[in-house]
Structure 1
Amino acid sequence: MTVSNLPDALLLVAFGGPEGPVDVEPFLQNVTAGRDVPADRLAEVAQRYLSRGGKSPGNDRMRALLAAVQTELRSRDLVVPVVWGNRNWHPFIEETVEELERQGHQRVMAWFSSPYRSYSTCRQYLEQISAATEGCSVSVERLRPYFDHPGCIEPAADRLREALLTLPADLRDETCLLFSAHSLPLASADTCAYVDEINEAARLIAERVSPQGQHRWEVVWQSRSGSPHVPWLVPDVGDRIDELAGLGVQAVAVSPVGFPVGNFEVEWDLDVEAAQRAAAHGMSFARADTIDQDPRFAAMIVDLLVEHCTSGATPAALGNLGVAPAACPSHCCPPPP
């Protein structure tokens, strides 16, 4: 099989984050536009960012990933420019599309930093891309979701193994593995594949880290926002740590399975809040690193591009849910009610 019909460019699509203190408030206004987020909650989140210099680690992570993807493409003698666009901060998707048009690129493939399907991790990005390309010469197709791709699962398993090694030796075999992902309103979670895909990815990672089943493992949720009156996915990671301490669990290792690319929510909600909850119980705590800096992750992005452009290619997938389509069905991931 030969690679043919390569696109004019590859667009890496991400959430975005502030680059400094002056960016925090407008960034959060973008994130919460049209949502019922209490003002005190917004102020609380803003203070968290400001306490760490007002900068999200996500942008630097995406810059490094873009460079790694460029290197991987060159190693395969594939000539495809790589660009980057965010949903919520510069470079915005709209800005990147404008630049692509100025450069004469027409056919563009997009890779999403979240491998899971929900309105906020999938369709909302597609809607923004559609609006950005309306009336211009740039056409954007997305690469397929990759939640169970070996380039996603194997690095995550390695990062979790490394995290376990930082715990006291006498507690490692009894450590509870927690797989954390961004919570969603139940009304949204019930209309998409998000929860099933998170659970499948967690299972695949757990089976590699604990092949004999010696470790208990669970999926937990983090970073909920919005109205406190709206039910969201539970258990919250901090609440579950409290419950596990009451059950006598002495150590937890958290894999940020929902966040392949490092961001502020991982560093705050897990490294600060979840770690503090564990420390309050005298519980040993470790957090696995995200996988965006693993060379296999950048290689996976190029693999997905090559797969899309190669007639008869067999998709690489480890799970039991089937390969998700690149083009979402019209009924997939509807907007929240």
Structure 2
Amino acid sequence: MSPATDASPAFRPKPERATGVYRAPGAVVPGATSAVADGRPYATDPAGYDAVLLLGFGGPEGQDDVIPFLRNVTRGRGIPEERLEEVAHHYRHFGGVSPINAQNAALREAVERELAGRGMPLPVALGNRNWAPYVSDAVRDLADAGHRRILAIATSAYSSYSSCRQYREDLADALEETGLGPVLQIDKVRPFFDHPGFVAPLEAGLAGALAQLRESGLDPAAEVEVLFSTHSIPDADAALSGPSELELGPGGAYVAQHRAVAEAIMRRLGDPAPWQLVFQSRSGPPSVPWLAPDVNDAIAELPARGRKAVVIVPLGFVSDHMEVLWDLDGEATETAEKLGLVAIRTATPGVDPAYVAGLADLVAERIEGRPVADRAHLTELGPWYDVCRPGCCANARLGTGPALAGIEP
């Protein structure tokens, strides 16, 4: 196999960061429909959307795509080639194909069917941040098909730069690249971390795992630890997640939201076992503090506390993509087994009917202009904002770039 280069047939650099974004006269929120253009935190007026845009991360489709894809992901961060090669090994283990592409394609089809079944026959397009089809491709295709009022859904449930604001920046990048800012209006559904549709599959998976361990003779209250795992991010970015006005403490909205969902799941199950919020997949240099504890470090401490089994709940992930398969099914499970622990990794929402129905509900609440009091949520933090507040989820290193679905900056 020849070494991958940026000349690989499928490669195209992702769009440059936007230098500006179109804002209609009198609008506070750039690129927005009239339902939220004035900057109100929640959209409580009906909106006539004519398409839905699913925002994905993207991934390589073959061995020659792996390094170009990783260069897209890390562009501007000064990541050395040897580090890219280390991460490339994860993808090469699976033939150079990221599972996220097929997963998002299946989710797109499922959401489109669900919307049609509810009497909302909207086309659902998929646009990626780091690989074709890019967000700009999807935006251009929707415009060419005559669509003008688009509602976006990010395939990420929580508030942080990479999981929310960067998707909003992707939308601004796409409008600048295509020149469609004066033509299209694009809003985005709220972060859905505590929507019952997202939480239900995670809760069901944990309930099933605990039942399985009970049947094997283990006592969850004394012999099992539940680890709710999510992607680690730099401490500095976590501190900036969510609007500063909320004062959510160390870790900002990112940690607060994950912890609130974990608490809700355990409470709904009757607090059956001890648990922790843990982190995985850090990629920064050791000199930069990232959220901890790492899932493997947490597992290593369990035998000394009398634990005989661990249940790993992928709380921060919507599908079984590379970081779930490699970091949890591979490294974390191996760590547990070396220590003599029984390890169960529960399922991500994927295309679970409850999750698909939940995403359709998020579309419906925006079409209807549903009152905040009537919106589904399982924690006191929700329902989260439809329109991100000024400076929300800034990047500690890059600051804030032009973004849709929020008040500038």
Q: Which interval holds the TM-score relative to the shorter structure?
A: over 0.9
Cα distance, 1:312 vs. partner? 4.1
Aligned to 2:143: 101
The answer to whether structure 1 residue 201 and structure 2 residue 251 are counterparts is no
Cα distance, 1:261 vs. partner? 2.2
The answer to whether structure 1 residue 169 and structure 2 residue 216 are counterparts is yes
Selected match of 1:178 from 207, 210, 227: 227
Taking the TM superposition and a 5 Å limit, the aligned residue runs for 1:40-189 are 40-134=82-176, 135-136=179-180, 137-167=183-213, 169-171=216-218, 173=220, 174-189=223-238
Selected match of 2:391 from 306, 331, 336: 331
What TM-score does the superposition give when structure 2 sets the normalisation length? 0.78
Give the letter for the 1:80 counterpart. Answer: L
**Deviations, residues 269-319 of structure 1 (Å, cap 9, x unaligned):** 000000010011011000001112211111111100110111344211110
Cα distance, 1:255 vs. partner? 0.6
**Deviations, residues 55-112 of structure 1 (Å, cap 9, x unaligned):** 1111111111111111111211212111111111111111111111211211100001
Partner Cα separation in structure 2 for residue 326 and residue 143 of structure 1: 6
What TM-score does the superposition give when structure 1 sets the normalisation length? 0.95
Aligned to 1:229: 287
- List gaps (5 residues or longer) in structure 1: none
Q: 1:144 to 1:104 in 2, by over 3 A?
A: same
Selected match of 2:359 from 276, 280, 301: 301
Partner Cα separation in structure 2 for residue 164 and residue 90 of structure 1: 40
Paired residue secondary structure (1:85): strand
Aligned to 1:215: 273
Partner Cα separation in structure 1 for residue 87 and residue 129 of structure 2: 18
**Greater Cα shift, 243-252 or 216-225:** 243-252
**Greater Cα shift, 131-140 or 289-298:** 131-140
Question: Do 1:177 and 1:254's aligned partners in 2 also have CA atoms closer than 8 Å?
Answer: yes
The answer to whether structure 1 residue 320 and structure 2 residue 362 are counterparts is no
Partner Cα separation in structure 2 for residue 126 and residue 330 of structure 1: 13
Partner Cα separation in structure 2 for residue 195 and residue 255 of structure 1: 16
Aligned to 1:272: 330
- List gaps (5 residues or longer) in structure 2: 1-44, 242-252, 398-409
Selected match of 1:242 from 273, 296, 300: 300
Question: Do 1:153 and 1:204's aligned partners in 2 also have CA atoms closer than 8 Å?
Answer: no
**Greater Cα shift, 61-70 or 130-139:** 130-139
Cα distance, 1:166 vs. partner? 4.5
Paired residue secondary structure (1:170): coil
Partner Cα separation in structure 2 for residue 241 and residue 39 of structure 1: 31
Q: What RMSD, in angstroms, separates the aligned Cα atoms of the two structures? A: 1.6
Which is helix-richer, 1 or 2?
1
**Deviations, residues 32-61 of structure 1 (Å, cap 9, x unaligned):** 112243433221110111011111111111
Structure exhibiting the larger radius of gyration computed from Cα positions: 2
Question: Do 1:223 and 1:269's aligned partners in 2 also have CA atoms closer than 8 Å?
Answer: yes
Partner Cα separation in structure 2 for residue 162 and residue 178 of structure 1: 15
Cα distance, 1:122 vs. partner? 0.8
Give the letter for the 1:175 counterpart. Answer: V
Partner Cα separation in structure 1 for residue 115 and residue 264 of structure 2: 28
